[in-house]
Amino acid sequence: MRWHAAGDVRLEEVELELPLGPGMVEAEVRFCGICGSDLAEFRHPFAIRPEKAHPLTGQRPPLTLGHEFSAVVSAVGAGVDQVAVGGRVSADACWRCGRCAACVSGRYNQCLYSGSIGLSSDGAFAARVRFPAYCAVPLPEAVGDEVGALLEPLAVGLHALDRADARAGERVVVIGYGPVGAATALIARSLGLEPLVCELAPGRRTRAEAHGFETHEPEPEGRDFARAVRAWSGGGAEIVVDCSGAVPALEAAMEMTARGGRIVIAGIPKRPVPVDPGRMVVYERSLIGTLGYANDLPRVARMIASGSLEPSVMITRRIPLSEVADEIARLAEDPRDEVKVLAEIGR
């Protein structure tokens, strides 16, 4: 399922382009989820650079999309000992150089040359996918193939909460209940935090309630929204994670934390949002960005295996690979109330 240009994704028969060189893995895909970034690339190229080859992968469009997947290893290149043929895996989608300051410090999501499987190299909306062995995350026995395809989006939620130094017992307001919001709320609950989900769309709000979350319909006035959430938390939540990327939501988020609160920006608003530094300084609030994840997928796998996290409720629709292109076009137009749409690719 190849990305050719904005508005142009199609199913076609191609050979794998990346060689199975040293340090590379080839795997047969089981499940692959549609991500908000796939929809963003369909609307307008953002991470995909149509004009030049990626410095780490050497690939340029057309590219196979898909970076949230589970698969079974079918071949390994020279020097690969992290995984073996027949092993069930998911993947951390980050290509990294391994040499820049960010990589050396372990924050490879900040790599100077970073790229993503399915955006910078051929991804997993395909029968087979090749990727670096350092991306492979072995799936524990207790983590099934379907749920295995959720590790990547769940890691985004875990990283957002880690960025805020979230601790059990704290109250966290999650704004937006799309895939990132759902992942954040589910992870928050399993870490012992108390989430409140704020979501405008009635369908998604109902979805959050069905998943057992307390919900709130945001007031149209940002000030009233912030006041209502402060009332819920008796003076302000410790953490707010804005997963909506909406300007009014982020403006309200900055006013709904307690003193010492942490405001995590997980969605990117379309225009700059004014910040009142006084409101940050006087209440010692922190404004924190979060990007993807780094070393978070194995921890998510352990949370699922231990039974503390049950994320299969995120899957709201299953489709065959042949329907992915149409589904991406439909969701890019209107995400409806879907949380995670999974393509079932191999069995």
Which spans of this chain sit near Zn ion (rule: CB under 5 A)?
A: 35, 96-97, 100, 103, 111
**CB nearer Zn ion, residue 99 or residue 259:** 99
CB of 80 to Zn ion, least distance (A): 20
CB of 157 to Zn ion, least distance (A): 11
Closest of 204, 173, 192, 80 to residue 131, by C-alpha: 80
Tokens in use for 215?
A: 């919900």
Rounded CA separation 171/144 (Å)? 31
**CB nearer Zn ion, residue 196 or residue 297:** 297
**CB nearer Zn ion, residue 96 or residue 163:** 96
CB of 190 to Zn ion, least distance (A): 20
Tokens in use for 341?
A: 């749409």
**CB nearer Zn ion, residue 35 or residue 341:** 35
**CB nearer Zn ion, residue 261 or residue 311:** 311
Q: Which residues contact 325 (CB under 8 A, 6 or more apart)?
A: 1, 9, 10, 11
**CB nearer Zn ion, residue 111 or residue 314:** 111
CB of 58 to Zn ion, least distance (A): 16
3-class secondary structure, 248 = helix
Residue type (1 letter), 74: S
CB of 314 to Zn ion, least distance (A): 12
CB of 274 to Zn ion, least distance (A): 29
**CB nearer Zn ion, residue 113 or residue 283:** 113
H helices within the chain, ranges in order?
36-43, 101-104, 145-148, 151-163, 179-190, 202-210, 222-232, 247-253, 277-282, 297-306, 324-333
Rounded CA separation 17/5 (Å)? 18
CB of 118 to Zn ion, least distance (A): 8
CB of 67 to Zn ion, least distance (A): 6
Burial 55-83 (b: 16+ CB within 10 A, else e): ebbebebbbbbbbbbbbbbbebbeebebb
Tokens in use for 261?
A: 């609160």
Tell me the helix, strand and coil percentages in the chain, rounded to 5.
30, 25, 45
Closest of 292, 302, 267 to residue 139, by C-alpha: 302
Task: List the beta bridge partners of residue 315.
Answer: 340
**CB nearer Zn ion, residue 69 or residue 213:** 69
Compute the half-sphere exposure of residue 171: CA atoms within 13 Å on the CB side of its CA.
20
